[in-house]
Amino acid sequence: MTTRTVHTSGLAAAELSALRDFLHDAFDGDFDDTDWDHTLGGMHALVHDVRGLAAHGAVVMRRVRHGQRWLRVGYVEAVAVRQDVRRTGLGGRVMAALEEIIGRAYALGALSASDDGARLYEARGWQVWGGRVCALGPDGVVRLPEEEGSTYVWPASAAAGGELVLDWRDGDVL
């Protein structure tokens, strides 16, 4: 097993193509063009085994307002593990690499968790954001109540509550 961290710009065209195929398969086909776009432009953690790419996660920079301050946040995207090696610790390996990046480069980390993924993040000390979750959209601040309860932050001390306002993006805002 090897773990590699690399910026999107350091991935060759063939690696990007293989990564896109990997994510499509890992998410059972539920990984569209906007999901792919959200994955790009930051740092990737890639775990390879003898069969090839076994796990992936990315952290991209997003701007998030908390109170009167806009923060640089490391937003975690596209955490996936190949089906034949799920529940073997590779998701934790990916998250450890991403948390190291977040800890060195951002005010805090954030992510939107699926029900399956929430167990991994909680076990690593990520906490559900205790307040409102919003986005700054084209028409102003929009509350995202469906994201409340599934938006996590790290380190846990950052989960104090209040309102988080994330920058807008196409597709799933979170």
Average pLDDT over residues 135-140: 94
173 domain residue, yes or no: no
Residue 172 belongs to a domain: no
pLDDT of residue 56: 98
Look over the chain and give the mean of its residue pLDDT values, rounded to a whole number: 95
Tokens of 91: 């998701």
Say if 99 falls within a structural domain: yes
* Residue 102 domain-assigned (yes or no): yes
158 has pLDDT over 90: no
Structural domains of the chain, count = 1
Determine the Cα–Cα distance for residues 70 and 164; give it in Å rounded to an integer: 10
Q: From residue 147, give the alpha-carbon distance in Å to each of 71, 74, 132, 144.
A: 19, 17, 9, 6
> What is the distance between the alpha carbons of residues 63 and 127, in angstroms, rounded to a whole number?
19
- Asked if residue 133 belongs to a domain, the reply is yes
CATH of the domain at 128: 3.40.630.30
Beta bridge partners of 62: 73
Q: Is residue 174 part of a domain?
A: no
Determine the structural domain holding residue 76 and report its residue range.
Answer: 2-167
CB 159 within 8 A of CB 128: yes
Q: What is the pLDDT of residues 82-96, one digit of tens each?
A: 999 999 999 999 999
The answer to the question of residue 152 being in a domain is yes
The per-residue pLDDT for range 4-47, each reduced to its tens digit, is: 999 999 999 999 999 999 999 999 999 999 999 999 999 999 99
Give me the percent of the chain exceeding a pLDDT of 70: 99
Query: Is 36 inside a domain boundary?
Result: yes
CA distances from 90 to 18, 30, 55, 147, 148 (A): 18, 21, 6, 26, 27
For residue 159, the model assigns a pLDDT of 66
